[in-house]
């Protein structure tokens, strides 16, 4: 698998860290390029890493997909050269993501003029905002939500408590989260139940925690405040638009993959999009059981995730991509 790194100017003072993953011997150019958007305090590292097997990106590339991972502002190696430091949903969805998709449209080796968008956690929310603001002009052929919320029909009590005062969150700048996480590794390894809302330690190799912290980025105060208001109001408003209501006119096929014991994004929040999306082409993959619970991070790096998450994701993407190009593989 080849990895190519690009710097994408978003037109607002940031250079975005965008990466292309491809196997030249397997790529099916008739398929749409797959574009992955990571979530809150997260970058694309976790999408291309697994402590005991193929990562999500490796799994799809091995099947012939051209995969792109887009670190938007504040994520990965994206850097600010000028303009505002703080950012919110509008910046991510209406400036960064369009710039990334325009760039991929110019660079892709695929023949299709649309994309399959995979939103991971808050990356799915960013994708919803993008679609809501351009319901008829978005170039998204298919949408995948992996553990991402739209409407907070139910939020975990600790998350509600953390969102009591949005203005205060907008004043607090938190730095060095990755360094702090690395310092806490010995504590987490000794008391793994501390992270039970985020992952199931029995199905994740915590001995690789020093690698996993590479996917952690610092949060932004403005985005924190917007998230707090969103959780309190249940509906997300961006630039005066109710995102939930605006999705009624979006008819994009959608796949929802969720962890049934997720303490970060509850199943009710992850599935809320089904009450609002205009599409009738909807599929759901539920991961986890009472015997083997799955939480948020388990959707990406747990044991057996290749069969529980990556395979149904691959199969859905295959069905969304009929073999129409002259170079399509038989």
State mean pLDDT over 264-276: 96
pLDDT confidence of residue 171: 66
To which CATH superfamily is domain 2-319 assigned?
Answer: Alpha/Beta hydrolase fold, catalytic domain (3.40.50.1820)
The structure tokens 């190799």 sit at 205
pLDDT in tens, 7-20: 999 999 999 999 99
Beta-bridged to residue 140, according to DSSP, are: 115
State mean pLDDT over 262-269: 95
80 token code pair: 């600010």
Cα torsion through 223, 224, 227, 229, rounded to 10: -110
For residue 104, is pLDDT > 70?
yes
State mean pLDDT over 121-146: 96
pLDDT confidence of residue 264: 93
Report helix, strand or coil for 118. strand
pLDDT confidence of residue 199: 87
For residue 324, is pLDDT > 70?
no
State mean pLDDT over 243-251: 96
Sign of CA dihedral 248, 252, 253, 256: negative
**Alpha carbon distance 83, 95 (integer Å):** 13
For residue 327, is pLDDT > 50?
no
pLDDT confidence of residue 249: 95
**Alpha carbon distance 183, 215 (integer Å):** 15
Instruction: Break the chain into its structural domains and give their ranges.
Output: 2-319
pLDDT in tens, 217-236: 988 999 999 999 999 999 99
Q: Quick one: pLDDT band at residue 328, thresholds 50, 70, 90?
A: very low
pLDDT in tens, 38-96: 999 899 999 999 999 999 999 999 999 999 999 999 999 999 999 889 999 999 999 99
pLDDT confidence of residue 115: 96
* Average pLDDT over all residues of the chain: 92
State mean pLDDT over 295-302: 95
pLDDT confidence of residue 320: 92
pLDDT confidence of residue 325: 43
Neighbours of 301 (CB within 10 A): 24
Q: Which residue has the higher pLDDT, 298 or 178?
A: 298
pLDDT in tens, 181-216: 778 777 877 777 777 788 898 898 888 778 888 998
Q: Quick one: pLDDT band at residue 329, thresholds 50, 70, 90?
A: very low
Give the predicted TM-score (pTM) of the model.
Answer: 0.93
C-beta of residue 316 within 8 angstroms of C-beta of residue 144 = yes
Q: Which residue has the higher pLDDT, 176 or 290?
A: 290
The structure tokens 């993008």 sit at 130
């Amino acid at each position: 698998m080849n990895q190519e790194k690009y710097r994408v100017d978003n037109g607002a003072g940031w250079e975005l860290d965008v990466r292309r993953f491809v196997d030249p011997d397997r790529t099916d150019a008739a398929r749409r390029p797959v574009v992955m958007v990571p979530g809150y305090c997260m970058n694309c590292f976790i999408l291309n890493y697994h402590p005991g097997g193929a990562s999500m990106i490796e799994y799809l590339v091995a099947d012939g997909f051209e995969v792109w991972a887009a670190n938007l502002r504040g994520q990965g190696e994206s850097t600010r050269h000028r303009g505002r430091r703080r950012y919110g949903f509008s910046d991510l969805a209406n400036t960064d993501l369009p710039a990334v998709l325009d760039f991929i449209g110019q660079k892709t080796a695929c023949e299709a003029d649309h994309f399959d968008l995979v939103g991971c956690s808050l990356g799915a929310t960013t994708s919803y905002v993008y679609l809501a603001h351009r319901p008829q002009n978005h170039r998204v052929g298919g949408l995948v939500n992996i553990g991402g919320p739209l409407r907070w029909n139910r939020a975990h009590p600790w998350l509600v408590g953390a969102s009591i005062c949005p203005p205060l969150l907008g004043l607090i700048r938190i730095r060095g989260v990755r360094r702090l996480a690395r310092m806490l590794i010995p504590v987490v390894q000794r008391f793994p139940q501390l992270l039970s809302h985020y992952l199931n330690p029995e199905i994740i190799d915590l001995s690789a925690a020093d690698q996993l912290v590479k996917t952690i980025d610092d949060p932004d105060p403005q985005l924190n405040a917007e998230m707090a208001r969103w959780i309190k109001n249940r509906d997300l408003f961006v630039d005066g638009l109710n995102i939930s209501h605006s999705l009624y006119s979006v008819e994009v096929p959608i796949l929802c993959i969720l962890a049934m014991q997720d303490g970060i994004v509850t199943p009710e929040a992850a599935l809320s999009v089904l009450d609002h999306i205009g599409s009738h082409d909807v599929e759901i993959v539920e991961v986890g059981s009472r015997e083997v619970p799955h939480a948020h991070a388990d959707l990406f790096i747990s044991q057996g995730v290749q069969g529980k998450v990556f395979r149904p994701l691959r199969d859905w993407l295959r069905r969304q991509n009929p073999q129409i190009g002259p170079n399509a593989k038989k």
